[in-house]
Chains A and B, each alone.
Chain A
């Protein structure tokens, strides 16, 4: 199993540009989520999904869109990049939160800089 994969690893955007951060998992996990981590801070939830076709907002959803057309993939779209979106983005997956004893797996992260 590859686990949770994220692409790209690094990205530099100009203000106003759009892009998609890719996330895929091969563990058949129902729950997937996107977090951002700013320097010296914890992870903040952007969006999450409890299954294909179902998404919801986290703590900091503004400026980001998500979709979940398949169980495996959960892309994050930046609509119009702003310097405030400079951060490290992590994708995570796990079995359903209703399952009980589950473990959350994280991807390696995407370091995004918006100039």
Chain B
């Protein structure tokens, strides 16, 4: 099946710093999503981005489907950005329409 790899696995930054999180996938995908899991375990959808670039406030994401990767950018980090960031993909041409998650990037923002 498709492999989804995220890097780095852990990231510790000072408040105000910028960060880039990466998601590589091993096969063509129908779509890709980015999620944030906060320290209380709640999962929030950030972007649905099978290709191209989207922005929402301090967050933006870019997916280059032909090169099989996606990037999540966080600018001017705040402590509330802490948590785990997951990317999830739906494999293309899959009759089963499964969504597969990466193992996540744990982001810690220090005040």
Contacts and interface: CB of A to CB of B under 8 A. Distances in A.
A35 interface: yes
Interface of B: 1, 30-31, 33, 35, 41-45, 48, 86, 88, 90, 96-104
Dominant secondary structure of chain B at its interface with chain A? strand
Interface of A is mostly: strand
Interface residues of A, number: 25
Contacts, number: 53
A50 B97 contact: yes
B45 A104 contact: yes
A74 interface: no
Contacts of B103: 41-42
A103 B99 CA distance: 12
Contacts of B31: 97
Contact of B30 (A88, A92, A97, A105): A97
B86 A42 contact: yes
Contacts of B88: 43, 104
Contacts of A41: 103-104
Nearest to A31: B97
A25 interface: no
A43 B30 contact: no
